[in-house]
Amino acid sequence: MRIRPDGALRVTIPRGGSRSEALRFATRHLSWAARERARLAASRRPPARWTEGTSILIDGELVPIVRDGNMVRAGALVVPAPVHLVDLRPAIELALREEAKQTLPPQLLALAARYDLHVTRVTIRNQRSRWGSCSPSGCIALNLRLLQMPPSVREYILLHELMHLRHADHSRRFWTAVQGVCPAFRQAERWLKKHGQDLF
């Protein structure tokens, strides 16, 4: 049982378990859930303002934000934005979304082809609690913040979602499949646990 970043309670049922058993388990541990929600709420920071000179992660490296000039400049993220805008976050997130639309679907589809998997559709989202999702119909949604991760961590997320085309759950068979295509997935998980919240 865990509390998701959005405050929702998630109970994972082991193979052979039942929904009624899971509900009884959750009911017995509601006081823990309340304490955990309060702890998360206390530690949750308001969204950081991204202003000129602020550094944010791009490809896992901290780069400073520069307001104007060419969109690409060595060692900086250049954002074309009106002078009166102080918080550049919306402009940067829009730029990240556009970049993600151009770069993430081809990367995902290339990996799908490598492992003979069929993806029906790829969408890019700006989510606060999920890096990606895979529907039973083969539609994969990816968080635009994947662009902020180191390439190896980003590839792990893509492979993680692709393995859901083989196993819809997070069973032992799923994790065995993930390890088969991404032997260093535990390192990627550690990076996400340590730095994931820094991307928001």
Q: CA-CA distances (angstroms) from residue 89 to 29, 42, 56, 148?
A: 38, 23, 10, 14
The tens digit of pLDDT for each residue in 8-24 reads: 788 888 777 888 888 88
Q: What's the pLDDT score for residue 30?
A: 86
Measure the CA–CA gap between 93 and 109, rounded to whole angstroms: 23
Global pTM reads 0.74
Q: What's the pLDDT score for residue 179?
A: 96
69 phi, psi to nearest 5 deg: 105, -160
Residue pair 153/58 in contact by the 8 Å Cβ criterion: no
Q: What's the pLDDT score for residue 72?
A: 45
Q: At what angle do helices 151-163 and 89-114 cross, to 10 degrees?
A: 60
Measure the CA–CA gap between 9 and 37, rounded to whole angstroms: 9
Give the rounded distance of the alpha carbon of 63 from its chain centre: 20
Name residue, tokens 């969204």: 47
Q: What's the pLDDT score for residue 29?
A: 86
Q: Over its length of 200 residues, how does the chain's per-residue pLDDT go in tens digits? A: 888 766 778 888 877 788 888 888 888 988 888 888 777 766 655 567 888 888 888 999 888 888 765 444 556 777 776 666 778 888 888 888 999 999 999 999 999 999 999 999 999 999 877 899 999 999 999 999 999 999 999 999 999 999 999 999 999 999 999 999 999 999 999 999 888 887 87
- Residue partners of 44: CB distance under 8 A and separation at least 6: none
Q: What's the pLDDT score for residue 124?
A: 96
Residue 32 zone, left/alpha/beta (φ > 0; ψ -120 to 50; rest): alpha
Secondary structure string (H, E, C) spanning the chain? CEECCCCCEECCCCCCCCHHHHHHHHHHCHHHHHHHHHHHHHHCCCCCCCCCCCEEEECCEEEEEECCCCCEECCEEECCCCCCCCCCHHHHHHHHHHHHHHHHHHHHHHHHHHCCCCCCEEEEECCCCCCEEECCCCEEEEEHHHHHCCHHHHHHHHHHHHHCCCCCCCCHHHHHHHHHHCCCHHHHHHHHHHHHHHHC
